[in-house]
Every structure is written in structure tokens, then in C-alpha cells.
Structure 1
Amino acid sequence: MSGGHARVNIVVEGLTEETFVRDILSPFLGARRVFVTARRVETGRAAGKVYRGGLVSYEKACRDIRRWLIQDKDAYVTTMFDLYRLPADFPGVSNAPQSEEPYARVARLEQALALRIGSERFIPYLQLHEFEGLLFSDVEAIDAVLGVEHSQLRSLQVIRARFATPELIDDGENTAPSKRLITLFGGYNKPAFGSRIAARIGLPVLRRECPHFNQWISRLEVLAAP
């Protein structure tokens, strides 16, 4: 935030997002003098040990976000949480209109989160609808990694063709992006394959295909600009 550079601390949902930030976002943003650090959201403490990973409640995430804002007063804080299965106590979830358009919904929830956190250094981001949605930016990359023995490229192409953007692949119990991958590839494991597929796709394609994700990156990449 000074000296021609900026630092951003990212509270992420799990190990996959942590790896994604380290391996894909950090080099890109670092080249723009925006230096990022990611850590999984804190879920509890016991016997001197801190437990992290999994967005189990808003209150726990809120404490973690505010703690980092207090501990590091010279850095921004942002989030990378899935919209899919947000906790019931998350700001704005309980009064969401049933037929709300996904982009309108995520914008409203991010605004509600920003208002609740109440810091100019906080940049809210929710992934539509979950991390795996990003992977549908390039279904050939998915198949190249997961379909080595049994290609499912045609099925992946059919899914992708139904939606204007990968971010609109819905959040149904059996039709969320991750559930679709598990159905097609029984061995799909998010920590093992998620960031690997994303790296194969590359950040330029992810940004081109996913408008909401691109808005977030566009905001972060100029934080060190004069």
C-alpha cells in the first residue's frame, strides 16, 4: 500500500484455493508489484492448535478476516469462498430471493459481506458457483488431466454449451460443477487435480471466460498503481 507496491492477504476456503493463489495468482500479481499471501480460513482452536479449511460458519470466517486486518494494518484482505453452500449465517443468505440471477446474487452477497466487515482495506470475493466452475473455462484441459484412461470430452462439451459462462453452471446438489466432475470422473479429487487443471488452462483463459473472476483479478492487479 506504499512504496510502489501493495500486499494482499487472501482468506481462502481450502487447500486447492491456497495452492491456486500460490502457483497461479501470486506470480501474475507479483509481476505487478502486488504481493499476495493465502491461508485457509480458521475453523477452530484447541490445545494450542489452529485448525483451518472449510467454510463452516460466517462467524468463524468473520473473526479470521478481522483478525488479519488488525494484525497486518498495511495490507488489504480479500476472500476466495465458494458461493455454493454458503453457511446459513452468511450475510444476505437468509433473505435471498428464490429466483435471483446468479451475478446479481453474488454482487449482493459480496456487498453484504463488505458492509459487515466494515473496512476500506477489505475486498470481498465469492466464486460463482464454486472453484470447479473456473475449470469449465476449458473442458479440453479437464479431459486431458482426468480423462487419460476414459475420455469424457463430449460430455464435458455438452455441459459447457448449456451455459453462457462457466460461472453460470448451477449450484444444485447433484449438478454443481464439482458434482458433474465426480459423476464423469469417479476419481476426481479437488486438492489433487483442481489447481493442476487450472494451471493447464492458464490465467488468461480463466479471466476471459469468467467475468466475475476477471473483475476480482482486475481490481487486485491495480492496487499498486500510482
Structure 2
Amino acid sequence: MKRLIIIGEGQTEQAFCKDILQPHFLGFDIFIENPTISKSGGGIVQWTHLKADIERLLRSSNAYVTLLIDYYGLKDKHAFPSWEQSKAIPNRVERMSHLEAAMHKDIAEQWKHRFIPYIQLHEFESLLFADEEVFKRSFTQEEYSDYEYLETTFREFENPEDINDGSMTAPSKRLERILRDYTSNKPSTKALWGPMLAGEIGLDQIRRKCPRFNQWIENLEQI
């Protein structure tokens, strides 16, 4: 059985890997390990720290290593390779590909063939907007604080990965506005609600609606 290490930002990504991705990849004879980024209390860190994690894991075993990190929240201070150049690329999908290629290039030559970089556009919570019917089934009207905003979001974005990364309009911020008890800055809440909704939606539906995410899954299936 092959080993795949998915480095995530926090508890939400860990739970998603364990509950949603692991059952799928067992069918491909792939076992997933899902550590969080070291030196992080949840969230992204400087590239030098993340790179050290990646190379340590690649060096210590024959496992493949990939990432599940959000584009939302990446800043100049994190100093990702080719970050400044990426800002000049208007198309966000092409921008992510540029950043992923730069990360891959920066990993030591002897290990990079087992490194599969991935940045989620725009954040993990994008995936939760893959099926409007799941929201309707999962929550009562009393649990919504702005049901109309839920409907507006689904009307505006056919592809959930297009939901933008504004400080008030990123996917997690939309969930805060839509649902009374969702709090994006409380890890325990995110870790409960995110995988729960993803499980209700199902991996197949998420892949149908989120093409970049689907391509990542396809790449991992082929290791």
C-alpha cells in the first residue's frame, strides 16, 4: 500500500482527509496520513517553515507528500516562491498553477518527484458550496441568519472555486453570514461543520462542481 501525506492547515482539513478522502483512496491502495503544519496554531506559515516540513517528510520515508492549504490568507509575509510574480496573473486558476509550479521547483531535486503541491482556491470552505440542496436538507430556517444570501451565492457562482477571497465575501465569511452558529475563527466549529457538510454533499459531487480540486484528486489517484 502506498503512503500519501497530506499536510493541512488545521483540524478541519485533518477531519476532511480522515472522513472523506481516506475511504476513497483506500480503493486505490493508498493510505493517507494527515499532519498539520508544524509551528502553526492553525493556518498558514512562512514558506520556509512549510518547505522544511515537506522536505523532512520526503526525506524520512518513501511516501508522497501533498498540501491542502488555502489561497485565502496567503500574504506577502509568508514569502511563497514566485509570490510577487503571481500577482501579475489575473486568472486565478493560472495563478494557482504558477504558485504550485514554483513550490515544486523549490523542493530539493532528489525528493520533488514525490511532492504534489496544491493550493485550494480560494479556501477549503469553497467545497461546501457544491450542493445547495444539502444546505436545505441539513438546516432549519431558524438556523439561518441570512437564507437569501445563501441563494444569492449559489446563483452567482456555478463553480464554488470562483467564490472570491474578499475579507467579507470569502467562502468562510459567507458561511458566517448565512448560518447563525458558524464561526470561522473557532477551529472546533469549523472542524465539526466542514467535514459534516462535505460528507453530506459527497466527494463525487464536490469533484463535479470543483474542477481544480477534482484535478488534484485525479493526480493523487495516480501516484
Residue range with higher mean Cα deviation, 122-131 or 111-120? 111-120
Mapped pair 1:94 → 2:84: yes
Q: What is the CA distance between 1:154 and its match in structure 2?
A: 4.0
Encode CA deviations 1:124-162: one digit per residue, 9 max, x unaligned.
011010000000001232344454624455431211221
Q: What is the CA distance between 1:52 and its match in structure 2?
A: 5.3
User: Which amino acid is the alignment partner of residue 209 of structure 1?
Assistant: K
Mapped pair 1:17 → 2:5: no
User: Which amino acid is the alignment partner of residue 25 of structure 1?
Assistant: L
Q: Distance in 2 between matches of 1:146 and 1:99?
A: 39
Residue range with higher mean Cα deviation, 179-188 or 94-103? 94-103
Counterpart of 2:64 (choices 76, 79, 96) is 76
Name 1:48's counterpart in structure 2.
none
Encode CA deviations 1:106-140: one digit per residue, 9 max, x unaligned.
11111111111241100001101000000000123
The sequence identity of aligned pairs, in percent, is 39
Mapped pair 1:110 → 2:100: yes
Name 1:140's counterpart in structure 2.
133
Computed over aligned residues only, the root mean square deviation of the Cα atoms, in angstroms, reads: 1.7
Q: Which runs of 4+ in 1 moved over 3 A?
A: 142-148, 150-154
Cα gap change, 1:17 to 1:140, in 2 (>3 Å): same
User: Which amino acid is the alignment partner of residue 117 of structure 1?
Assistant: I
Q: Distance in 2 between matches of 1:9 and 1:158?
A: 37
Q: Distance in 1 between matches of 2:136 and 2:55?
A: 40
Encode CA deviations 1:200-220: one digit per residue, 9 max, x unaligned.
100000000000000010111
Q: Distance in 2 between matches of 1:11 and 1:64?
A: 9
Name 2:121's counterpart in structure 1.
128
Given that residues 57 and 87 in structure 1 are in contact (C-alpha distance below 8 angstroms), is that contact kept between their aligned partners in structure 2? no
TM-score, structure 2 as length reference:
0.88
Which structure's residues are more often helix, by fraction?
Answer: 2
User: Which amino acid is the alignment partner of residue 160 of structure 1?
Assistant: F
Name 1:28's counterpart in structure 2.
24
Name 2:214's counterpart in structure 1.
214
Name 1:158's counterpart in structure 2.
152
Unaligned runs of 5+ in 2: 183-188
Unaligned runs of 5+ in 1: 44-50
Encode CA deviations 1:177-221: one digit per residue, 9 max, x unaligned.
001111122421312201110011000000000000000101111
Q: Distance in 2 between matches of 1:35 and 1:209?
A: 25
Cα gap change, 1:147 to 1:40, in 2 (>3 Å): farther
Q: Secondary structure at the match of 1:63?
A: helix
Q: Distance in 1 between matches of 2:35 and 2:9?
A: 8
Name 2:193's counterpart in structure 1.
193
Name 2:185's counterpart in structure 1.
none
Name 2:47's counterpart in structure 1.
58
Residue range with higher mean Cα deviation, 161-170 or 83-92? 83-92
Residue range with higher mean Cα deviation, 182-191 or 126-135? 182-191
Q: Distance in 2 between matches of 1:79 and 1:71?
A: 17
Mapped pair 1:182 → 2:179: no
Which structure's residues are more often strand, by fraction?
Answer: 1
Q: Distance in 2 between matches of 1:146 and 1:71?
A: 45
